Homo-oligomer: A and B are copies of this chain.
Amino acid sequence: MVKQERAARTRETLVRAAAEVFAEQGFVTASIAMISRRAGVSAGGLHFHFGSKTVLAQAVEDRAAQELRGITAAAARSAGAGAVGAGAGGNALQALVDATHALMALLAQDVVVRAGFGLCSDASWSGAVDLRRQWRLWVEETVAAAAREGSLAEGLSPQDAARGVVAATVGLEVLGAYEREWVAPHTLTRYWTLMLPRLAAGGALEGLRPEGSTGL
């Protein structure tokens, strides 16, 4: 049991070290030697846990994808729980706001998530996981839910609204990799203060919190 725990910790350390090296140098330049040195794990140990650099990159992407699923599920739950008031609707839009806050916070804090997204635009890597696509599909679903619950502004196409949000959040993610300011909570709060009056139906707007409903 203790041995299993130690193995799990070593794997976690290796995934984190790989993510750091990928984020700094890109997939192709990153070497097994660099990653094992960074992790403080021998090259033999690395090979025992992950057969190759490719398997490590897949592990980084999988961990990031799992975090992303966790975020979107939690945002949907918390926005549902903190209901905005009978008839006002707006829960789906609040879930959208909450999830973007959680995503940007993760991008700022968790190098595995940052590296996972970074691999999306790394021309030297092509993985099975596409985090930006996963994010886009969730945003589309959530905006469609907002339209169904009547909280989307009248006359606004859900597709246009979703695309606008996806473009801006992907832009923040990309810019934030170099300048942390772009993924700071106040940057996102100001983005939603800009966007919500355009996206939300009149009745839904006042219940919405651009800073996120979980006080992020």
Interface residues of A (CB under 8 A from B): 22-26, 28-29, 118, 121-124, 132, 156-157, 160-161, 163-164, 166-172, 174-175, 177, 182, 187, 190-191, 193-195, 197-198
> Separation in Å of the A210 CB from the closest CB of chain B?
11
Q: Which residues of B contact A177 (CB under 8 A)?
A: 121
* Contact (Cβ within 8 A) A190 B23: no
Name the contact of A198 in the complex, choosing from B23, B121, B132, B198 (C-beta under 8 A): B198
> Separation in Å of the A29 CB from the closest CB of chain B?
5
Q: Which 6 A-B pairs have the closest CB atoms?
A: A171-B171, A26-B123, A167-B171, A170-B171, A198-B198, A26-B124
CB within 8 Å for A160 and B194 given contacts A166-B175, A168-B168, A171-B170:
yes
Name the contact of A122 in the complex, choosing from B26, B166, B191 (C-beta under 8 A): B26
* Contact (Cβ within 8 A) B124 A28: yes
Name the contact of A164 in the complex, choosing from B26, B170, B194 (C-beta under 8 A): B194
